[in-house]
Amino acid sequence: MDDLRLIFEYLMTPSSTIFIVGGLIVLLAPILVHFFIVHQTPYTSLPSIVLAGPPGAGKTALLTLLERGADRPVATHTSQTPQSVELTVSTDHKSGRPITTPYREAARDDAPGKHRKFLLIDTPGHGKLRAQALNHLFPGNGSGDAGAEKGAPNDRLRGVVFVVDAAALDDNLADAAAYLYEVLLALQRRTGAGRTSKTPNAVAVLVAANKADLFTALPASLVRGHLEAELGRIRQSRSKGLLDSGVGVDEVGAAEDQDVWLGQYGSDKFTFDQMREFDLEVDVVGGSILEAKVDKWWDWISSRI
Ligand code: GTP
Ligand code: MG
């Protein structure tokens, strides 16, 4: 009992130690609480960009380059799990028109202009693991964001960067296009779903034609043409059953068919411009991660954040 009284007396007697300790508690407590909360709820409100595309295209290499700002990409290996990094874009409006700070300087605190943080999410390209990428377009279909409404569009998603190997597209065209078809169809349905409830945020797609440093690499215009042609073929074969069975475009079966039909319904040729009907902009831009020529992709990302 006496001990307790002594401690109490000591605490109540003004002394510099007590003031310092008390002051520290008052100052540090809110800071600790802040970090605790930030740690508990990571990235909840950050806009996100998803990297998708066939294996070996350079998704992980791109993420690493943008994260480290290095001049050379580091060696990567096939990804099996998604990974995400927090990056910063900054845009300088001083000179009248917006200028995006190069990715190497964007993360620096003294970079000019307005800073905006976003989440860049790398996903595995292997066929069996693609659901992880598609899950970011519609969380809650499998694993993914806890608490997200099942099958609801992801509100934070701003864009999808679909990386393809422009130097090996001839060999990989069928696989790359099949994957892109899934991505675009998921985004198209997302817009469709928004017609009945609230309109989802606009999402854009950038086809990043990577490995322009290799002499076999196709220019962006050819990558675009090849992909459009192959997507058209896929669309044709997927809907063949219905079209051949004599069910016309305006007849009853059309509703089901429209679910798997990418772009303008009933059109002969597929073009990326047809995705505009669903509020989807698709750009095809060349670049090389190896030579660190990714500024156009970075500008594209910046403009979506
Ligand atoms: P998965 O994880 O399997 O889906 O593949 P990924 O898309 O993450 O590919 P990754 O980033 O691992 O790159 C595959 C290979 O391509 C690596 O050996 C890279 O060094 C190489 N690579 C990436 N970008 C370029 C480029 O611009 N030019 C050249 N020549 N090689 C590149
Ligand atoms: Mg990877």
Asked if residue 106 has pLDDT above 70, the reply is no
What length is written for the chain? 305
76: Cβ below 6 Å to ligand 1? yes
Q: Which residue's C-alpha comes closest to atom 21 of ligand 1?
A: 58
Asked if residue 189 has pLDDT above 50, the reply is yes
Q: What is the average pLDDT score of the chain? A: 79
Residue 92 forms beta bridges with which residues?
A: 99
Q: Which ligand is nearest to the CA of 78?
A: 1
What's the pLDDT band for 100 if we cut at 50, 70, 90?
Answer: low
pLDDT recorded at residue 146: 42
Decide: 151 and 94 in contact? Cβ < 8 Å.
no
55: Cβ below 6 Å to ligand 1? yes
Distance 68 CA to ligand 1 centre (A): 16
- What are 49-61's pLDDT values in tens digits? 999 999 999 998 8
Rounded Cα–Cα distance for residues 119 and 133 (Å): 14
pLDDT recorded at residue 142: 44
Higher pLDDT, 102 or 96: 102
Distance 58 CA to ligand 2 centre (A): 7
- What are 294-303's pLDDT values in tens digits? 889 988 998 8
Rounded Cα–Cα distance for residues 51 and 157 (Å): 11
Distance 201 CA to ligand 2 centre (A): 27
Whose CA is closest to 299, among 280, 281, 285? Answer: 285
Chain centroid offset of residue 206 CA: 10
Give me the mean pLDDT over the 170-175 stretch.
Answer: 91
Q: Which residue's C-alpha comes closest to atom 10 of ligand 1?
A: 58
